[in-house]
Structure 1
Amino acid sequence: MAIKQGAQQADIPTICESCEARQGGLCGALETGQLVNLAKASSRHEIPGGTELADDGAYSNVLSGVIKLTRNLSDGRQQIVGFHFAPDFLGRPFKAQWPITARALTKVTLCSFSKTIIERMMEETPALRRVLLKHALKQLDEARYWMAALGRKTASEKVASFLLKIARNIGPGNHSANSMSFDLPVKRADIADFLGLTIGTASRELSKLRTDGVIRIANRRHISLESVARLEERCGD
Protein backbone atom coordinates (compact mmCIF):
# COMPACT_ATOMS: atom_id res chain seq x y z
CA MET A 1 0.00 0.00 0.00
CA ALA A 2 2.86 2.39 0.79
CA ILE A 3 4.30 1.84 -2.70
CA LYS A 4 0.92 2.60 -4.31
CA GLN A 5 0.53 5.81 -2.31
CA GLY A 6 4.02 6.88 -3.28
CA ALA A 7 3.25 6.35 -6.94
CA GLN A 8 0.05 8.36 -6.67
CA GLN A 9 1.90 11.17 -4.93
CA ALA A 10 4.49 11.22 -7.71
CA ASP A 11 1.73 11.63 -10.29
CA ILE A 12 0.39 14.82 -8.69
CA PRO A 13 1.37 17.84 -10.82
CA THR A 14 4.33 19.67 -9.29
CA ILE A 15 2.47 22.96 -9.28
CA CYS A 16 -0.31 21.37 -7.19
CA GLU A 17 1.83 19.67 -4.54
CA SER A 18 2.11 22.61 -2.15
CA CYS A 19 -1.00 24.48 -3.30
CA GLU A 20 -3.25 25.54 -0.43
CA ALA A 21 -6.37 24.94 -2.53
CA ARG A 22 -5.43 21.27 -2.82
CA GLN A 23 -4.84 20.96 0.90
CA GLY A 24 -7.88 22.81 2.16
CA GLY A 25 -10.00 23.83 -0.82
CA LEU A 26 -11.81 22.55 -3.85
CA CYS A 27 -9.05 20.40 -5.34
CA GLY A 28 -8.64 18.37 -2.17
CA ALA A 29 -11.69 16.33 -3.21
CA LEU A 30 -10.21 15.29 -6.55
CA GLU A 31 -8.48 12.03 -7.33
CA THR A 32 -4.99 12.15 -8.81
CA GLY A 33 -6.15 11.64 -12.40
CA GLN A 34 -8.77 14.36 -12.08
CA LEU A 35 -6.23 16.72 -10.56
CA VAL A 36 -3.90 16.11 -13.50
CA ASN A 37 -6.70 16.85 -15.98
CA LEU A 38 -7.74 19.99 -14.13
CA ALA A 39 -4.14 21.21 -13.93
CA LYS A 40 -3.81 20.84 -17.71
CA ALA A 41 -6.95 22.90 -18.25
CA SER A 42 -6.16 25.58 -15.65
CA SER A 43 -4.15 28.78 -15.71
CA ARG A 44 -2.53 30.76 -12.91
CA HIS A 45 -2.56 34.52 -13.09
CA GLU A 46 -2.08 37.54 -10.86
CA ILE A 47 -4.63 40.33 -10.55
CA PRO A 48 -3.43 43.77 -9.36
CA GLY A 49 -5.17 45.27 -6.35
CA GLY A 50 -8.15 47.45 -7.28
CA THR A 51 -9.00 45.42 -10.39
CA GLU A 52 -12.57 44.31 -11.01
CA LEU A 53 -12.71 40.60 -11.84
CA ALA A 54 -14.53 39.87 -15.07
CA ASP A 55 -17.53 37.55 -14.86
CA ASP A 56 -16.38 35.41 -17.79
CA GLY A 57 -17.88 32.10 -16.71
CA ALA A 58 -14.62 30.72 -15.33
CA TYR A 59 -14.22 29.31 -11.84
CA SER A 60 -11.14 30.02 -9.75
CA ASN A 61 -9.33 28.94 -6.62
CA VAL A 62 -8.05 31.93 -4.66
CA LEU A 63 -4.40 31.12 -3.98
CA SER A 64 -3.43 34.39 -2.29
CA GLY A 65 -4.79 37.85 -1.62
CA VAL A 66 -8.21 39.21 -0.67
CA ILE A 67 -11.27 39.84 -2.86
CA LYS A 68 -14.31 41.88 -1.86
CA LEU A 69 -17.81 41.12 -3.08
CA THR A 70 -20.16 44.06 -3.67
CA ARG A 71 -23.88 44.21 -4.40
CA ASN A 72 -24.67 47.18 -6.62
CA LEU A 73 -28.07 48.83 -6.89
CA SER A 74 -29.47 50.48 -10.00
CA ASP A 75 -28.96 54.01 -8.67
CA GLY A 76 -25.27 53.49 -7.93
CA ARG A 77 -25.50 52.61 -4.26
CA GLN A 78 -23.45 49.63 -3.20
CA GLN A 79 -22.92 47.35 -0.23
CA ILE A 80 -19.94 45.12 0.51
CA VAL A 81 -21.52 41.72 1.17
CA GLY A 82 -18.49 39.52 1.69
CA PHE A 83 -14.85 38.72 1.14
CA HIS A 84 -12.88 35.84 -0.38
CA PHE A 85 -9.58 34.62 1.04
CA ALA A 86 -7.28 31.73 0.12
CA PRO A 87 -8.24 28.92 -0.45
CA ASP A 88 -11.80 30.03 -1.21
CA PHE A 89 -13.56 29.08 -4.44
CA LEU A 90 -14.61 31.99 -6.65
CA GLY A 91 -17.60 31.43 -8.90
CA ARG A 92 -21.09 30.04 -8.66
CA PRO A 93 -22.06 26.79 -10.40
CA PHE A 94 -25.44 26.65 -12.13
CA LYS A 95 -25.94 30.41 -11.88
CA ALA A 96 -28.29 32.16 -14.25
CA GLN A 97 -27.34 35.64 -13.10
CA TRP A 98 -25.10 36.77 -10.26
CA PRO A 99 -25.56 40.47 -9.41
CA ILE A 100 -22.34 40.59 -7.40
CA THR A 101 -19.17 42.44 -8.36
CA ALA A 102 -15.82 40.93 -7.31
CA ARG A 103 -12.83 43.25 -6.93
CA ALA A 104 -9.28 42.48 -5.82
CA LEU A 105 -8.43 44.40 -2.65
CA THR A 106 -4.81 43.30 -2.75
CA LYS A 107 -2.73 41.60 -5.38
CA VAL A 108 -4.55 38.33 -5.93
CA THR A 109 -3.32 35.06 -7.39
CA LEU A 110 -5.96 32.85 -8.99
CA CYS A 111 -5.96 29.38 -10.49
CA SER A 112 -8.77 29.46 -13.05
CA PHE A 113 -10.51 26.81 -15.14
CA SER A 114 -13.60 26.60 -17.31
CA LYS A 115 -16.97 25.83 -15.78
CA THR A 116 -17.39 22.91 -18.21
CA ILE A 117 -14.64 20.80 -16.70
CA ILE A 118 -15.53 21.46 -13.06
CA GLU A 119 -19.24 20.83 -13.59
CA ARG A 120 -18.41 17.56 -15.34
CA MET A 121 -16.24 16.55 -12.38
CA MET A 122 -19.09 17.43 -10.04
CA GLU A 123 -21.24 14.84 -11.83
CA GLU A 124 -18.48 12.23 -11.55
CA THR A 125 -17.25 12.89 -8.01
CA PRO A 126 -19.53 12.83 -4.94
CA ALA A 127 -16.64 14.11 -2.78
CA LEU A 128 -16.40 17.24 -4.91
CA ARG A 129 -20.13 17.85 -4.60
CA ARG A 130 -19.78 17.57 -0.81
CA VAL A 131 -16.95 20.11 -0.80
CA LEU A 132 -19.02 22.57 -2.81
CA LEU A 133 -22.04 21.97 -0.56
CA LYS A 134 -19.91 22.61 2.52
CA HIS A 135 -18.59 25.77 0.87
CA ALA A 136 -22.15 26.98 0.19
CA LEU A 137 -23.29 26.16 3.73
CA LYS A 138 -20.26 27.96 5.18
CA GLN A 139 -21.20 31.06 3.20
CA LEU A 140 -24.81 30.75 4.38
CA ASP A 141 -23.71 30.43 8.02
CA GLU A 142 -21.45 33.45 7.66
CA ALA A 143 -24.21 35.50 6.03
CA ARG A 144 -26.53 34.66 8.95
CA TYR A 145 -23.80 35.55 11.44
CA TRP A 146 -23.28 38.96 9.89
CA MET A 147 -27.04 39.52 9.57
CA ALA A 148 -27.29 39.20 13.35
CA ALA A 149 -24.07 41.15 13.95
CA LEU A 150 -25.08 44.10 11.77
CA GLY A 151 -28.58 44.17 13.21
CA ARG A 152 -27.82 43.77 16.92
CA LYS A 153 -24.17 44.39 17.77
CA THR A 154 -22.80 47.72 18.91
CA ALA A 155 -20.36 49.63 16.73
CA SER A 156 -17.50 48.52 18.99
CA GLU A 157 -18.53 44.86 18.71
CA LYS A 158 -18.90 45.12 14.93
CA VAL A 159 -15.38 46.49 14.46
CA ALA A 160 -13.88 43.90 16.81
CA SER A 161 -15.74 41.12 14.96
CA PHE A 162 -14.47 42.39 11.62
CA LEU A 163 -10.85 42.49 12.82
CA LEU A 164 -11.20 38.96 14.17
CA LYS A 165 -12.56 37.80 10.80
CA ILE A 166 -9.56 39.27 9.00
CA ALA A 167 -7.09 37.91 11.55
CA ARG A 168 -8.48 34.39 11.24
CA ASN A 169 -8.29 34.45 7.46
CA ILE A 170 -5.00 36.17 6.70
CA GLY A 171 -3.13 35.95 10.00
CA PRO A 172 -0.93 33.04 11.07
CA GLY A 173 -2.50 29.59 11.21
CA ASN A 174 -2.48 29.52 15.02
CA HIS A 175 -5.78 31.06 16.16
CA SER A 176 -5.27 30.48 19.86
CA ALA A 177 -4.86 33.21 22.48
CA ASN A 178 -1.37 33.98 21.18
CA SER A 179 -0.40 37.29 19.62
CA MET A 180 -0.34 37.83 15.86
CA SER A 181 0.07 40.62 13.36
CA PHE A 182 -1.17 41.24 9.83
CA ASP A 183 -1.68 44.00 7.28
CA LEU A 184 -5.28 45.14 7.08
CA PRO A 185 -6.25 44.62 3.41
CA VAL A 186 -9.15 47.10 3.43
CA LYS A 187 -9.48 50.84 3.77
CA ARG A 188 -11.47 52.28 6.64
CA ALA A 189 -14.13 53.32 4.14
CA ASP A 190 -14.58 49.64 3.21
CA ILE A 191 -14.77 48.63 6.88
CA ALA A 192 -17.47 51.25 7.42
CA ASP A 193 -19.35 50.15 4.29
CA PHE A 194 -19.34 46.49 5.26
CA LEU A 195 -20.40 47.18 8.86
CA GLY A 196 -23.01 49.84 8.10
CA LEU A 197 -21.08 52.54 9.99
CA THR A 198 -19.71 55.94 9.11
CA ILE A 199 -15.98 56.23 8.46
CA GLY A 200 -15.68 58.42 11.56
CA THR A 201 -17.34 55.79 13.77
CA ALA A 202 -15.19 52.98 12.38
CA SER A 203 -12.03 55.04 12.95
CA ARG A 204 -13.06 55.93 16.53
CA GLU A 205 -13.71 52.30 17.40
CA LEU A 206 -10.34 51.25 15.99
CA SER A 207 -8.71 53.99 18.06
CA LYS A 208 -10.58 52.81 21.16
CA LEU A 209 -9.32 49.25 20.68
CA ARG A 210 -5.81 50.66 20.37
CA THR A 211 -6.19 52.86 23.45
CA ASP A 212 -7.47 49.89 25.45
CA GLY A 213 -4.40 47.86 24.43
CA VAL A 214 -6.34 45.25 22.45
CA ILE A 215 -4.55 46.11 19.20
CA ARG A 216 -1.58 48.11 18.00
CA ILE A 217 -1.71 50.02 14.71
CA ALA A 218 1.36 50.98 12.68
CA ASN A 219 1.27 52.92 9.40
CA ARG A 220 -2.56 52.88 9.54
CA ARG A 221 -2.70 49.34 8.11
CA HIS A 222 -0.45 47.03 10.14
CA ILE A 223 -2.41 45.49 13.02
CA SER A 224 -0.80 43.67 15.95
CA LEU A 225 -2.84 41.72 18.50
CA GLU A 226 -1.38 41.20 21.94
CA SER A 227 -3.96 38.48 22.50
CA VAL A 228 -6.50 37.06 20.09
CA ALA A 229 -8.58 36.03 23.11
CA ARG A 230 -8.86 39.68 24.23
CA LEU A 231 -10.19 40.64 20.80
CA GLU A 232 -12.68 37.76 20.92
CA GLU A 233 -13.97 39.11 24.24
CA ARG A 234 -14.79 42.44 22.57
CA CYS A 235 -16.92 40.82 19.84
CA GLY A 236 -20.06 40.35 21.95
CA ASP A 237 -20.55 36.73 20.93
Structure 2
Amino acid sequence: MFLPFLKNPFASKKMARDDFRDLMDGHLSRLASQNKAGRYAAMIASLEPHQAAYHALLGEQDQNLGQRLGKTDTVEELLAEFKQFAKDELLVEAEYQFKRKKPNAEALTAFLPKGRKEYSQATLLTLPTLLQRVADLTQTYKAELGADLATKATDLQAAYTTARETQGEAKGDVQGNSKEEKKLRKAAARQLKLNLLDQVKLHIDEPEAVLALYDAKWFTKPAKGDVKSKM
Protein backbone atom coordinates (compact mmCIF):
# COMPACT_ATOMS: atom_id res chain seq x y z
CA MET A 1 0.00 0.00 0.00
CA PHE A 2 2.98 2.32 0.44
CA LEU A 3 4.54 1.67 -2.96
CA PRO A 4 2.90 4.62 -4.78
CA PHE A 5 4.24 6.96 -2.10
CA LEU A 6 7.77 5.60 -2.45
CA LYS A 7 8.03 6.33 -6.16
CA ASN A 8 9.90 9.45 -7.21
CA PRO A 9 7.35 11.95 -8.58
CA PHE A 10 10.16 13.89 -10.29
CA ALA A 11 11.42 10.93 -12.32
CA SER A 12 8.57 10.93 -14.82
CA LYS A 13 9.79 10.11 -18.34
CA LYS A 14 6.73 11.84 -19.76
CA MET A 15 7.91 15.27 -18.68
CA ALA A 16 9.60 17.23 -21.46
CA ARG A 17 13.15 18.43 -20.89
CA ASP A 18 12.13 22.10 -20.81
CA ASP A 19 9.34 21.33 -18.35
CA PHE A 20 11.80 19.58 -16.05
CA ARG A 21 14.07 22.61 -16.23
CA ASP A 22 11.14 24.92 -15.44
CA LEU A 23 10.11 22.73 -12.51
CA MET A 24 13.58 23.05 -10.97
CA ASP A 25 13.75 26.78 -11.67
CA GLY A 26 10.35 27.45 -10.15
CA HIS A 27 11.01 25.26 -7.14
CA LEU A 28 14.34 26.94 -6.37
CA SER A 29 12.74 30.35 -6.75
CA ARG A 30 10.04 29.44 -4.23
CA LEU A 31 12.57 27.95 -1.84
CA ALA A 32 14.60 31.16 -1.97
CA SER A 33 11.59 33.41 -1.45
CA GLN A 34 10.40 31.39 1.56
CA ASN A 35 13.81 30.73 3.10
CA LYS A 36 13.06 32.21 6.51
CA ALA A 37 15.95 31.88 8.95
CA GLY A 38 17.75 29.76 6.36
CA ARG A 39 15.48 26.76 6.82
CA TYR A 40 15.77 25.85 3.13
CA ALA A 41 19.41 26.87 2.69
CA ALA A 42 20.74 23.30 2.58
CA MET A 43 18.07 22.26 0.07
CA ILE A 44 18.90 25.20 -2.17
CA ALA A 45 22.62 24.50 -1.99
CA SER A 46 22.11 20.82 -2.83
CA LEU A 47 19.87 21.50 -5.84
CA GLU A 48 21.59 24.50 -7.45
CA PRO A 49 24.51 22.47 -8.91
CA HIS A 50 22.00 20.16 -10.62
CA GLN A 51 20.12 23.15 -11.98
CA ALA A 52 23.31 24.73 -13.34
CA ALA A 53 24.49 21.50 -14.98
CA TYR A 54 21.10 20.86 -16.58
CA HIS A 55 20.86 24.41 -17.90
CA ALA A 56 24.33 24.15 -19.42
CA LEU A 57 23.53 20.85 -21.10
CA LEU A 58 20.26 22.08 -22.61
CA GLY A 59 22.11 25.06 -24.04
CA GLU A 60 24.70 22.76 -25.59
CA GLN A 61 21.97 20.50 -26.98
CA ASP A 62 20.25 23.45 -28.63
CA GLN A 63 23.53 24.57 -30.16
CA ASN A 64 24.34 21.12 -31.55
CA LEU A 65 20.85 20.70 -32.91
CA GLY A 66 21.09 24.07 -34.58
CA GLN A 67 24.39 23.06 -36.18
CA ARG A 68 22.87 19.82 -37.40
CA LEU A 69 19.89 21.59 -38.93
CA GLY A 70 22.23 24.17 -40.42
CA LYS A 71 24.25 21.45 -42.12
CA THR A 72 21.04 19.96 -43.49
CA ASP A 73 20.33 23.34 -45.07
CA THR A 74 23.85 23.35 -46.51
CA VAL A 75 23.35 19.95 -48.16
CA GLU A 76 20.05 21.08 -49.66
CA GLU A 77 21.74 24.22 -50.97
CA LEU A 78 24.41 22.04 -52.57
CA LEU A 79 21.71 19.95 -54.22
CA ALA A 80 20.19 23.09 -55.74
CA GLU A 81 23.63 24.30 -56.81
CA PHE A 82 24.43 20.96 -58.45
CA LYS A 83 21.16 20.99 -60.39
CA GLN A 84 21.90 24.48 -61.66
CA PHE A 85 25.46 23.50 -62.57
CA ALA A 86 24.24 20.46 -64.48
CA LYS A 87 21.57 22.44 -66.34
CA ASP A 88 23.58 25.53 -67.23
CA GLU A 89 27.08 24.14 -67.74
CA LEU A 90 27.72 20.42 -67.49
CA LEU A 91 25.04 18.98 -69.76
CA VAL A 92 25.22 21.87 -72.21
CA GLU A 93 28.93 21.28 -72.70
CA ALA A 94 28.68 17.48 -72.70
CA GLU A 95 25.97 17.47 -75.37
CA TYR A 96 27.82 20.02 -77.46
CA GLN A 97 31.09 18.10 -77.32
CA PHE A 98 29.80 14.53 -77.64
CA LYS A 99 26.65 15.02 -79.69
CA ARG A 100 27.52 17.76 -82.16
CA LYS A 101 31.18 18.79 -82.22
CA LYS A 102 32.73 15.33 -82.04
CA PRO A 103 30.03 12.66 -81.63
CA ASN A 104 30.86 10.15 -78.92
CA ALA A 105 27.86 7.99 -77.99
CA GLU A 106 29.75 6.18 -75.25
CA ALA A 107 30.72 9.39 -73.47
CA LEU A 108 27.25 10.89 -73.87
CA THR A 109 25.62 7.76 -72.46
CA ALA A 110 28.03 7.79 -69.53
CA PHE A 111 26.89 11.31 -68.62
CA LEU A 112 23.22 10.70 -69.42
CA PRO A 113 22.40 7.02 -68.77
CA LYS A 114 18.84 8.00 -67.80
CA GLY A 115 18.56 11.29 -69.64
CA ARG A 116 18.48 14.87 -68.39
CA LYS A 117 15.66 14.17 -65.92
CA GLU A 118 18.05 12.28 -63.68
CA TYR A 119 19.80 15.60 -63.05
CA SER A 120 16.80 17.93 -62.99
CA GLN A 121 14.95 15.59 -60.61
CA ALA A 122 17.94 14.80 -58.41
CA THR A 123 17.27 14.30 -54.70
CA LEU A 124 19.40 14.11 -51.58
CA LEU A 125 19.30 10.34 -52.04
CA THR A 126 20.64 10.36 -55.61
CA LEU A 127 22.99 13.33 -55.21
CA PRO A 128 26.04 11.33 -53.99
CA THR A 129 25.87 9.03 -57.03
CA LEU A 130 25.53 11.93 -59.45
CA LEU A 131 28.35 13.88 -57.83
CA GLN A 132 30.68 10.89 -58.03
CA ARG A 133 29.76 10.22 -61.65
CA VAL A 134 30.26 13.82 -62.72
CA ALA A 135 33.54 14.18 -60.82
CA ASP A 136 34.92 11.01 -62.44
CA LEU A 137 33.70 11.74 -65.98
CA THR A 138 34.82 15.36 -66.06
CA GLN A 139 38.30 14.13 -65.14
CA THR A 140 38.17 11.39 -67.78
CA TYR A 141 37.08 13.85 -70.48
CA LYS A 142 38.92 16.90 -69.17
CA ALA A 143 40.57 17.50 -72.54
CA GLU A 144 37.19 17.84 -74.25
CA LEU A 145 35.21 19.54 -71.46
CA GLY A 146 37.91 21.75 -70.01
CA ALA A 147 39.68 22.00 -66.66
CA ASP A 148 37.22 24.56 -65.26
CA LEU A 149 34.29 22.17 -65.54
CA ALA A 150 36.29 19.36 -63.94
CA THR A 151 37.33 21.63 -61.08
CA LYS A 152 33.75 22.74 -60.42
CA ALA A 153 32.58 19.13 -60.33
CA THR A 154 35.36 18.16 -57.92
CA ASP A 155 34.68 21.17 -55.69
CA LEU A 156 30.97 20.35 -55.47
CA GLN A 157 31.71 16.78 -54.46
CA ALA A 158 34.23 17.92 -51.84
CA ALA A 159 31.78 20.46 -50.41
CA TYR A 160 29.09 17.78 -50.17
CA THR A 161 31.44 15.34 -48.41
CA THR A 162 32.47 17.99 -45.87
CA ALA A 163 28.87 19.00 -45.18
CA ARG A 164 27.79 15.40 -44.63
CA GLU A 165 30.70 14.68 -42.30
CA THR A 166 29.98 17.76 -40.21
CA GLN A 167 26.28 16.90 -40.18
CA GLY A 168 27.14 13.43 -38.88
CA GLU A 169 29.34 14.88 -36.14
CA ALA A 170 26.55 17.21 -35.04
CA LYS A 171 24.12 14.29 -34.97
CA GLY A 172 26.54 12.34 -32.80
CA ASP A 173 26.85 15.28 -30.42
CA VAL A 174 23.07 15.49 -30.08
CA GLN A 175 22.82 11.76 -29.35
CA GLY A 176 25.69 11.94 -26.88
CA ASN A 177 24.11 14.89 -25.12
CA SER A 178 20.85 12.96 -24.88
CA LYS A 179 22.60 10.26 -22.85
CA GLU A 180 24.20 12.89 -20.65
CA GLU A 181 20.82 14.55 -20.17
CA LYS A 182 19.33 11.31 -18.83
CA LYS A 183 22.22 11.01 -16.40
CA LEU A 184 21.91 14.59 -15.14
CA ARG A 185 18.14 14.42 -14.99
CA LYS A 186 18.22 11.22 -12.93
CA ALA A 187 20.58 12.84 -10.44
CA ALA A 188 18.49 16.01 -10.26
CA ALA A 189 15.27 14.02 -9.78
CA ARG A 190 16.92 12.11 -6.95
CA GLN A 191 17.94 15.33 -5.23
CA LEU A 192 14.48 16.78 -5.69
CA LYS A 193 13.01 13.74 -3.98
CA LEU A 194 15.50 13.95 -1.11
CA ASN A 195 14.56 17.59 -0.66
CA LEU A 196 10.88 16.70 -0.78
CA LEU A 197 11.35 14.15 2.00
CA ASP A 198 13.09 16.79 4.12
CA GLN A 199 10.27 19.23 3.40
CA VAL A 200 7.66 16.68 4.45
CA LYS A 201 9.52 16.08 7.71
CA LEU A 202 9.92 19.81 8.29
CA HIS A 203 6.23 20.46 7.66
CA ILE A 204 4.79 17.14 8.84
CA ASP A 205 1.65 18.87 10.11
CA GLU A 206 1.56 21.54 7.38
CA PRO A 207 1.18 19.84 3.98
CA GLU A 208 0.10 23.14 2.45
CA ALA A 209 3.55 24.55 3.28
CA VAL A 210 5.13 21.83 1.14
CA LEU A 211 2.70 22.44 -1.71
CA ALA A 212 3.58 26.13 -1.61
CA LEU A 213 7.13 25.24 -2.66
CA TYR A 214 5.98 23.92 -6.04
CA ASP A 215 3.91 25.17 -8.92
CA ALA A 216 0.63 23.27 -8.64
CA LYS A 217 0.50 22.66 -12.40
CA TRP A 218 3.18 19.96 -12.13
CA PHE A 219 0.99 17.89 -9.84
CA THR A 220 -2.39 18.28 -11.49
CA LYS A 221 -3.93 15.78 -13.84
CA PRO A 222 -3.96 17.20 -17.39
CA ALA A 223 -7.34 17.92 -18.87
CA LYS A 224 -8.49 15.98 -21.91
CA GLY A 225 -6.66 17.24 -24.95
CA ASP A 226 -3.90 18.87 -22.90
CA VAL A 227 -0.63 17.67 -24.41
CA LYS A 228 1.65 19.18 -21.79
CA SER A 229 3.24 16.61 -19.52
CA LYS A 230 2.41 16.56 -15.84
CA MET A 231 3.63 14.27 -13.13
Q: TM-score range by the shorter chain?
A: under 0.3
| Higher radius of gyration, 1 or 2 | 2
| TM-score, normalisation: structure 1 | 0.26
Which structure is higher in helix share? 2
Q: With CA pairs under 8 Å and 6+ residues apart, which has the higher RCO, 1 or 2?
A: 2
| TM-score, normalisation: structure 2 | 0.27
